[in-house]
Structure 1
Amino acid sequence: MSGLRRRLTEDADGDDPLLSVVNLIDVFLVLIAALLLAVAKNPLNPFTDERVTVVRNPGTPGMEVVVKEGRKIEHFRGDGASQSAAGGVRAGSAYRMPDGGLVYVPE
């Protein structure tokens, strides 16, 4: 019987395969927390109702302006100079109103 008891205590001190699974769960919890922080710090976070304007590649022909107001997101790409050089024509005029809105008047 003493050999059986010694064998049981030796197995308890050995490597348990479930310990590695617990370690993997801890790693995934840390990864999920890091991803949640990244989403929360993103200016275009879908869970906020703020007005946010993001300009990508400013001053270049590939410039993009992203405006988020509440849950509505609008994208504006390029500038007028690069489009007219590519053969585009003027299609109208836009006027900014005192309340900040834009009015497009076709020609």
Structure 2
Amino acid sequence: MRYMNRHTLAGEDDLGDDDPLTGVANLFDLSVVFIVGLIVTVFSTFQLLDLFNEKSDMTVIKKTSSDNLQIISKKGKKIKAMEVTKAKAKGGGERLGTAYRLEDGTMVYVPD
């Protein structure tokens, strides 16, 4: 019996330092904290925190790789995405008037 409990009697503690996965778990925790910090930084830089506000309305226009425009609009809780191509942009209509920008920066609309 005395030989079986030799490690505990000698004062050696089994701390589990031989486990290689303890360092990996710490790296995983560190990467999660880094990713969350990066997401918060990107949202605050581009002022996209309004996406989480239910009362805000916003519209984002971005250009895709195929030179089409994509319009993403948010009204309340609804988010709607539309892609505008050159074929959709063409169409018939009638001219309603002319808009002029004055020297002080104001806009004036003159109907035809």
TM-score (norm 1): 0.46
TM-score (norm 2): 0.45
Name which one, 1 or 2, has greater alpha-carbon Rg. 2
Structure (1 or 2) with the greater helix fraction: 1
